[in-house]
C-alpha cells in the first residue's frame, strides 16, 4: 500500500514557494539586458514540485495541492489587505523608520495589491499549474513511464507559457506596447523553463527516492481530469 509520508512535506514546500513568490514579486531584478520579478528565484520551484506530485502521486492528488495552494495564497492576500487597512500606530504613521515618508505609505506600497495584478496572478496560476499537471500525466501514459526529463520539461514549457502569457497579458495589456508585452512573455517563459531544465537532475533524485520509499508510481489511466473535482 502507498505510504505517502512525504506528501505533506512536498505540499508545504509547494505552497510556501507560491506564497513567497507573490510577496517578493514586487521587486524587479536585472538579469543581463532583461528585467524580471524577484519571484523568478523561487516561483519555478512550485512547478518542479508540481511535476513531482503528479509523477509520483498522480493528477488527483496534485489537483488537491494546487487548490490548497490557491486557498493559502488567497488567505495570505486577505490578511495582508486587512493589515494594511488596520489603523497604524501614531509613531508608525508619522514615519518611524523614515522621517521623509510615512511608514504606513511605505508598507502599503510594498505589500499592497492592485485588483488587476491580483486577478491576473490567480488566473494565471490556476491555468498554468493545471495544464502542467495534465500534460505531465498524459505524457507519462504515452511514454510508458520512460523519459522523465521529457515529461518534466515538456509539461513545464506548456504550463509556464500559459502562466506567463496569461499573467502578463491580463496585468499589462493596454499599458505597454505590444512588442514589449510579447518580449516580457517570451523572456519569462524561457527563463522559467530553463530553470526547470537545469534542475532536472534534482527532480530525478527526488522522484526516484519518493517512488522507492513511498511505494508509489501512479498512472492516471482512469483519472477524471476535471480541475473542479476534489475527490480522487
* Distance in angstroms (rounded) separating the CA atoms of residues 141 and 150: 13
| Residue 22 maps to a domain | yes
* pLDDT tens string 148-166: 999 999 999 999 899 889 9
pLDDT of residue 97: 54
| Residue 18 maps to a domain | yes
Q: How high is the mean pLDDT of the chain? A: 85
* pLDDT tens string 23-70: 887 777 777 776 677 777 887 788 888 899 999 999 999 999 999 999
* pLDDT tens string 102-118: 677 777 777 777 777 88
pLDDT of residue 166: 92
| Residue 231 maps to a domain | no
* Distance in angstroms (rounded) separating the CA atoms of residues 136 and 133: 5
pLDDT of residue 93: 61
| Residue 228 maps to a domain | no
Structurally, the chain folds into a number of domains equal to 1
Residue 110 CB contacts under 8 Å (≥ 6 apart), including other chains: 26
pTM, two decimals, is: 0.88
Mean pLDDT along residues 220-229: 92
Beta bridge partners of 34: 31
What is the CATH number for 103? 1.10.1760
| Residue 36 maps to a domain | yes
| Residue 161 maps to a domain | yes
Provide the residue range defining the domain that includes 25.
7-214
| Residue 65 maps to a domain | yes
232 or 230, which is more confident? 230
C-alpha cell at 184: 516580457
| Residue 229 maps to a domain | no
Please answer whether residues 170 and 120 qualify as being in contact, where contact means their C-beta atoms are separated by less than 8 angstroms: yes
End-to-end Cα distance, the chain: 16
> What percent of the chain is helix, strand and coil (3-state, nearest 5)?
70, 5, 25
Whether residue 183 has pLDDT greater than 70: yes
Whether residue 100 has pLDDT greater than 60: no
Amino acid at each position: 500500500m502507498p505510504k505517502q509520508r512525504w506528501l505533506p512535506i512536498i505540499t508545504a514546500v509547494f505552497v510556501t514557494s507560491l506564497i513567497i513568490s507573490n510577496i517578493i514579486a514586487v521587486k524587479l531584478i536585472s538579469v543581463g539586458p532583461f528585467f524580471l520579478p524577484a519571484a523568478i528565484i523561487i516561483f519555478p520551484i512550485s512547478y518542479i514540485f508540481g511535476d513531482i506530485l503528479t509523477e509520483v502521486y498522480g493528477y488527483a492528488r496534485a489537483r488537491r495541492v494546487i487548490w490548497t495552494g490557491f486557498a493559502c495564497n488567497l488567505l495570505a492576500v486577505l490578511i495582508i489587505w486587512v493589515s494594511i487597512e488596520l489603523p497604524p500606530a501614531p509613531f508608525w504613521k508619522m514615519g518611524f523608520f523614515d522621517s521623509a515618508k510615512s511608514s504606513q505609505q511605505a508598507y502599503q506600497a510594498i505589500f499592497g495589491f492592485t485588483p488587476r495584478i491580483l486577478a491576473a496572478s490567480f488566473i494565471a496560476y490556476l491555468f498554468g499549474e493545471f495544464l502542467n499537471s495534465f500534460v505531465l500525466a498524459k505524457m507519462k501514459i504515452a511514454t510508458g513511464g520512460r523519459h522523465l526529463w521529457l515529461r518534466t520539461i515538456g509539461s513545464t514549457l506548456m504550463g509556464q507559457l500559459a502562466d506567463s502569457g496569461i499573467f502578463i497579458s491580463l496585468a499589462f495589456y493596454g499599458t505597454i506596447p505590444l512588442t514589449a508585452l510579447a518580449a516580457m512573455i517570451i523572456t519569462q517563459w524561457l527563463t522559467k523553463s530553463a530553470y526547470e531544465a537545469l534542475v532536472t537532475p534534482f527532480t530525478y533524485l527526488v522522484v526516484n527516492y519518493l517512488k522507492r520509499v513511498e511505494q508509489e508510481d501512479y498512472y492516471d489511466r482512469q483519472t477524471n481530469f476535471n480541475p473542479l473535482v476534489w475527490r480522487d
